[in-house]
Amino acid sequence: MAASSLPRREAILVSDFQRAGWRGAEGGRLPQGATLTPVMIGDAGDAPNLAVTAVSLTRSTFANQERVAVTAGVRNYSARPAEGVTLTLDLDGLAVQTAQASVEANGSASVTFPPVIVAPRRMRATVRLPADALERDNVFHFMVSPAPAVQVLVVDREGAREETSLYLRRALAIGDAPRFEVVRRTPGAVADEDLRRAAVVLLNDVPVTSALAGRIEDFVERGGGLF
């Protein structure tokens, strides 16, 4: 400021003026003719301000339908407790669930919405808080997508009946975290597309030809699983 040729030389100090926050030199001086304008920040703790800080998803399956329960974290940045605050869960722009939360002063809480059915496509989702002193942090956007199934290729002996791997396939069908989708093939019927889609190949007590062995070796080297 001392070297400035501007006609108006003004320093604006924006602070809450807590003594513990000062880290400058005690002998600091402004040049002659300069103006110091203090701007006092009031007690922001009295202004209501809640924020949605995080979202987590818990998946489950009911009646062969995937469901997800959304848990939202809420932070209270004010010096007063917030009681019975209503949070809203939107899916694709429509309000589908509400939940109540109470948050202590300068504290955190979480609230879990009732489970909703997951669509077979990706959905835009939002958790919203009511308007307060700072609305920018009242909204948390995220995506809800169907959980991909693990693709399992079961290889049975040539000429084997479908019952050969029936119990194995039924056992895999029970899984829901993750889900399994099973394709059954014989060694001569394993297509390249089957190996591209599969995450795991399960050889069900079957002799492997050298040609199939080479293809499975490539599959494993690309990261596939083999039992």
User: In this structure, are residues 79 and 44 in contact, taking their beta carbons and an 8 Å threshold?
Assistant: no
pLDDT digits (tens, 9 = 90+) for 54-76: 999 998 878 778 899 999 999 99
Mean pLDDT, to the nearest integer, of 199-216?
92
Which residues are CB-contacts of 90 (< 8 A; sequence separation ≥ 6)? 96, 125, 126, 127, 128
Closest by alpha carbon to 140, among 68, 74, 58? 74
Q: Tell me what pLDDT residue 174 has.
A: 82
Q: Tell me what pLDDT residue 149 has.
A: 84
pLDDT digits (tens, 9 = 90+) for 79-123: 899 999 999 999 999 999 999 999 999 999 999 999 999 988 899
Q: Tell me what pLDDT residue 25 has.
A: 66
Q: Tell me what pLDDT residue 64 has.
A: 72
Which residues are CB-contacts of 43 (< 8 A; sequence separation ≥ 6)? 79
Q: How far apart are CA 113 and CA 140, in angstroms?
A: 14
Higher pLDDT, 151 or 40: 151
Higher pLDDT, 155 or 66: 155
User: In this structure, are residues 93 and 125 in contact, taking their beta carbons and an 8 Å threshold?
Assistant: no
Residue 43 clears pLDDT 70, i.e. is over it: no
- pLDDT mean across residues, the chain: 89
Closest by alpha carbon to 139, among 124, 151, 120? 124
pLDDT digits (tens, 9 = 90+) for 115-136: 999 988 899 999 999 999 889 9
Residue 158 clears pLDDT 80, i.e. is over it: yes
Q: Tell me what pLDDT residue 29 has.
A: 83
